[in-house]
Amino acid sequence: MANWTFNPQDYSENDFAPIPKGDHRVRINDVVEKKFSSGNEGFEITLDVSGYGSKLWFYLVLDANDPKRTNQRIGEFFESFNIGDLNLTHYRAWIGKIGGVRVKHEEYNGESRAKVAFCLKQKNQEKLPAWRGEALATPTANFETITPDEELPFD
């Protein structure tokens, strides 16, 4: 365990206000496959919100009992984030895509929480300001091709 002395003066209970209601530019920060309590599978999508330090979560539930509604929701998500590859197994490629969502507030345990109401169509994002925030780190790889006659650096 690291040697650390906690200083309580450096701690404060942050009372983060929820993301305001309305339309917001967002970027996909992470996507995780998930099995929901309903038994349905799907994706938990973490969204960065332009101009805010807080995050939102969007759930893309694959409901086999309601394929029409599920495909509608997937289509709206793909359209909002300009995702052209319709293969759901390529979900890691969604990370970094920028789109728009409508935020609503709901009460949860006596607190108002921001929640994604729905994804905005591209044409409804035109009035949103451009993405403001840090760029996602993209791995840079400088690989060198080694031909079979070259000696490898290991045994």
CATH code, domain with 28: 2.40.50
pLDDT of residue 140: 46
Confirm whether 80 is domain-assigned.
yes
Q: Which residues contact 83 (CB under 8 A, 6 or more apart)?
A: 77, 93, 94, 97
pLDDT of residue 4: 84
Contact call for residues 45 and 31 (beta carbons, < 8 A): yes
Amino acid 139: pLDDT: 46
Residue 29: the pLDDT is 97
pLDDT of residue 147: 54
Backbone φ and ψ for 74, nearest 5 degrees, come out as -65, -45
User: Where in the sequence is the domain holding 42, given as residue range(s)?
Assistant: 16-125
Beta-carbon neighbour count of residue 23 at 10 Å? 16
Long-range contacts, 135-141 (Cβ 8 Å, 24+): 136/27, 136/29, 136/95, 136/96, 138/96
Annotate 101-134 with b (16+ C-beta within 10 A) or e (fewer).
Answer: bebeeeeeeeeeebbbeebbeeeebeebeeeeee
Tell me the pLDDT of the chain (155 aa) as tens digits. 578 888 887 776 655 668 999 999 999 999 999 999 999 999 999 999 999 988 999 999 999 999 999 999 999 999 999 999 999 999 999 999 999 999 999 988 888 899 999 999 999 999 999 998 766 654 444 545 555 555 555 55
Task: Tell whether 130 is covered by a domain.
Answer: no
pLDDT, residue 71, reads 96
Query: pLDDT value at position 135?
Result: 62
* Total number of domains constituting the chain: 1
What was the pLDDT predicted at 33? 97
Please name which of 76, 122, 115 lies closest in space to residue 99, comparing C-alpha atoms.
Answer: 122
| Per-residue pLDDT, 132 | 86
pLDDT recorded at residue 68: 96
Position 52 in a domain = yes
pLDDT at 144: 54
Do the domain assignments include residue 110? Answer: yes
Tell me the CA end-to-end span of the chain in Å, nearest whole number: 36
